[in-house]
Amino acid sequence: MSAAPKVTFELCACDGNARTGRLHTARGEVATPAFMPVATKAAVKAIAPEQLDALGYRLVVANAYHLALRPGVEVVEAMGGVARFMGFGGAVLTDSGGFQAMSLGRLCTAQPEGLRFKSPLDGAAVLLTPERAAEIQRRLGADIAMTLDHCAPYPATREQACRSHELTARWAERMAAASRPAGQALFGIVQGSVYPDLRRESLRQITALPFDGFAVGGLAVGEPRAVMLEMAALGADGLPWQRPRYLMGVGTPDDLVAAVGLGFDLFDCVQPTRNARNGSAFTDQGRLSIKQARFARDPRPLDGACRCRCCGSFSRAYLRHLYLSGEILAAQALTEHNLAYYAGLMRAMQAAIASRTWSAFVAARNERLAPASGQQG
């Protein structure tokens, strides 16, 4: 049996630092810049895989750590890999579980050999080494695997940030040396918190290793937006031009536009799905909270420019009623709308870069959103 084709990246056009391209995987082609919906436990909350496909999503993010705990690597492997297990026709990128070292707090300690967790399910001790992270992602059948990294919290002392990026570098070396399927790409992750010199040192260490792509991690964890963008810009400046670049955990529509302008290609964030479950919708006029009383008798769709099923079927008044009544349909409809909005935003950015009209696109978007800035939230 022939090996799966290797994941490759093709740059198609640039306008300044903004880039558009194609990520070729065994499960299809992904146009970039691309937003990846978060499917932590092999499911994007409140939306079915076929709906993701209809919206144009060809790549999602799952979490290797969580899937190893439940249902277990053996189950997913026996079911044909994570994409087949979840019924998704596109490709899957798996995060290794490094972020959980920060998010799980006292349940996790970082040591030179790896991350020691207490399982949040039953309290059992779990050791996640770089070699184990590579094995889990191999058996899950991920198209793109991420190295095991250590994400420092914000704020972090210089000592904490230094230890974080040093662990990340050592673990990256070990994971680069670990075996993986011929068709699986492996991305390295840059850390360093908000310290520019540590970020530069992490860039030097990680880009010296033979990874198929690179990610900038440890941002959007509570630092001011200006600081996040400064560190992201530093990261983009130091990453290889011909490899895919992934800005982890970002972001809002405004952050996505800014980050694409810096030269990033891939993004993931819970913003569209979490906001939907909290009654918020992203629109061409800014963010809209359907909970507000002013929508109680509003017959308009969420966004008159949107062609999603939610906007074609439901009024703002009805969506508000669903949300206040605790109906599951509210989360489903708002999630589909928000992911449609994000997909449309990515397509618009791809088109602007391809036509060399990036600056005009950004200026027009800013002008359109300016009158509604006071309505967001």
Q: Tokens representing 291?
A: 């909970």
Question: On the CB side of 211, how many CA atoms lie within 13 Å of its CA?
Answer: 31
d(CA 376, CA 285): 9
Options 95, 143, 265, 303, the catalytic residue? 95
Write the CB contacts of 123 (distance below 8 Å, at least 6 apart in sequence). Answer: none
The reply to whether 303 belongs to the active site is no
Beta partners for residue 189, in sequence order: 215
Q: Tokens representing 264?
A: 């990033």
The reply to whether 265 belongs to the active site is no
Q: Cα 223 vs. chain centroid, distance in angstroms? A: 18
d(CA 129, CA 14): 38
Q: Tokens representing 227?
A: 């600081």
Pick from 124, 59, 53: nearest CA to 266: 59
Options 143, 255, 268, 303, the catalytic residue? 268
d(CA 19, CA 36): 17
Catalytic residue positions? 95, 268
